Chains A and B, each alone.
Chain A
Amino acid sequence: MDFIYSIIPAGVLSQVFVGLSRTTILFIVASGLSLILGVLRIPNVAHGSLYMIGAFTAFTVTKIFGSGSAGFWMALIIAPLVVAFISLIAERGMFQFLYEREHLMLLLLTFAFSLVFGDLVKLVWGGEYKSVPVPHIFQGFVPLFGGLPFPLYNLFLLVAGPVVAILLWLLTNKTKIGKIARAAAVDREMVGAVGINVSWVFATVFVIGCYLAGLGGVLVAPTVSVTLGMDHNLIIEAFLIVIMGGLGNIWGALLGALIFGLTQSMGILIWPQFGIIFPYLAVVIVLLFRPTGLLKSTW
């Protein structure tokens, strides 16, 4: 390990880890988006808002259960479920009637939802900054690579990302509902013809995707200030990750998130003023050479 430390400066290394923990959040949100895009073909602009709702709900839940570890674990369970429930209502109440129409209408409907959700959050929680405490067991730092302090919570994120990726892969590839969903993505009518209720398959996939958005919101909450407008940047980033990785491909979303997270953190290190342009530049370069994304798309 000392060898790595001797060739890569500590600052760079710590930035890499910051980028990796950002990658986890981006991946969890983007994989939900990718799932919805791949199966339902909805470019869900409201995804960012659901992420925001997840973070704000986490704030309320930790308030109720106290800032100890219990509060965080409860938030981790409850908040994504709240988000999933909201999305279920939206899907059954509105989206299911538009699947036959063209995608532009669905896109606009999700945008309408993002506007409504944004203001509802303002109505319920107010416009002030909120902060969610880091749970007790993840407070403090661990020494990495010869004494480089790294927040324990970020380490937890680094574990959470791959876990979600594997669970999601198992869900889509090894379970029946996953197989049906993938079949429905390819040929909706045929799946309907063999007697499967496609409408409920779509609803399930939509809710799972939105659950992931909520989960991302809860996980990010202790590391940033929870604020209105946190949805706007994230949703574009998530979209670009999905496009960069290949529509509907879970591993593509992971790869895209990795590129996005690392270029973001490295960019800030290399050129502080224009750091934010590097991820976008990466997307443009990737799409120039591979117009349909890095990995195979399910479209």
Chain B
Amino acid sequence: MRKKTLLWLSAGIIVLLLFPTFLPRFYVYLASIILLYGLLATSLNLVLGYGGIFQFHHCVFYGVGAYGTTLMLTKTGLPAVFAFFAGPLVSAAFGLIMGIICIRLSKLYFGMLQISLGSLVWAIVYRWYSFTGGDDGIHGIPIPEMLSSPNSAYYYTLTVTIVCLFVMRKIINSPFGSALQGIRDNPVRSEMIGINVRRHQLLALVVAGFFAGVAGSLFVVVDNTVFPDMLFWTLSLEIFIMCLLGGWFTFLGPMLGAAIIIALRTFVSTYTVYWALVLGIIMMLVIFFLPNGILGYVEEKFKKGFIEPEIKE
């Protein structure tokens, strides 16, 4: 890492650390939500942007992670630490199962089978009143005293998010990450040079599932609730927009996209109920004028980093 980047990074982290000292309570909560959605969007970008896998229903992993954590906390007497690890691990296992079932299909079929599996999970969660709380969800989840105040929840979210982003960055820059990007750009050639395409994609799904599950468990800490909408497909598309707006092929793009979308939603919702309309129009503008997203545009403009050429199927 270059010295300048390091400087900017530490400055950013210090500002983030100081947030709760000067921001009102509500904004601290909002910042936590932004961080965990950013983590979720980054994990989607790991498979979709870098891996080229049509991950249409990513929020299932998020929801499974959140429900996994919640059910561990409410139904078992185990210490909370186990629950926070159990959620993401359940998501990762779910990613493995989904991968084994879906990975042999190509692009659109993959995405569609994933949506049907995801809808299946959603329907079960939505109706299993005795176990998951059904369409009401579960409220007032008992989380450890240490994390129950907004500030401590924020610090916890911040720490976990930074650690996860760091690990994901390492994964993308590792030989595994390079192989994944190679598969995205040209699966046939990758196969020819001896990369096991399916195994790499499967692993990518497991990794992305894990980090999406972490985001889910963070939501449990920040909001103390879970509800079936966390698994509904419209949320998946919202996460798509976050990646699109921030920039697919940039590492921090999804984080930026999440921040903009969530901040806008909060801001717009206070004035009008027509948030979806605003979001739709923003999306159209981005698709037509900023196809590489904001960070992609910035990188292109200033040639500071390197942006990959226009995406090919």
Q: Hey, which bits of chain A sit against chain B, CB under 8 A?
A: 43, 45, 94, 97-98, 101-105, 108-109, 111-116, 118-120, 122-123, 232, 236, 239-240, 243, 247, 273-274, 276-277, 280-281, 283-284, 287-288, 291-292
Contact = CB atoms under 8 A, between A and B. Distances in A.
Q: Is the interface of B mostly helix, strand, loop or mixed?
A: helix
B94 interface: no
Contacts of B313: 102-103
Given A116-B281, A277-B123, A284-B120, A111 B240 contact: yes
Interface residues of B, number: 43
Contacts of A114: 280
Contacts of B128: 273-274
Interface stretch (B109-117, B186-194, B301-309): B109-117
14 contacts: A45-B237, A97-B288, A101-B291, A112-B280, A116-B284, A118-B276, A122-B273, A240-B112, A240-B115, A273-B127, A280-B123, A281-B120, A283-B116, A291-B113
Contacts of A115: 276-277, 279-280, 283
Contact of A280 (B107, B120, B283): B120
A116 B116 contact: no
Interface of B: 54, 101, 104-105, 107-109, 112-113, 115-117, 119-120, 123-124, 126-129, 232-234, 237, 240-241, 244, 273-277, 279-281, 283-284, 287-288, 291, 311-313
Nearest to A118: B276
Contacts of B312: 102
Nearest to B57: A236
Contacts of B126: 276
B311 A102 contact: yes
A50 B307 CA distance: 37
Nearest to A46: B280
Contact of A103 (B108, B113, B244, B283): B108
B112 to A, nearest CB: 4
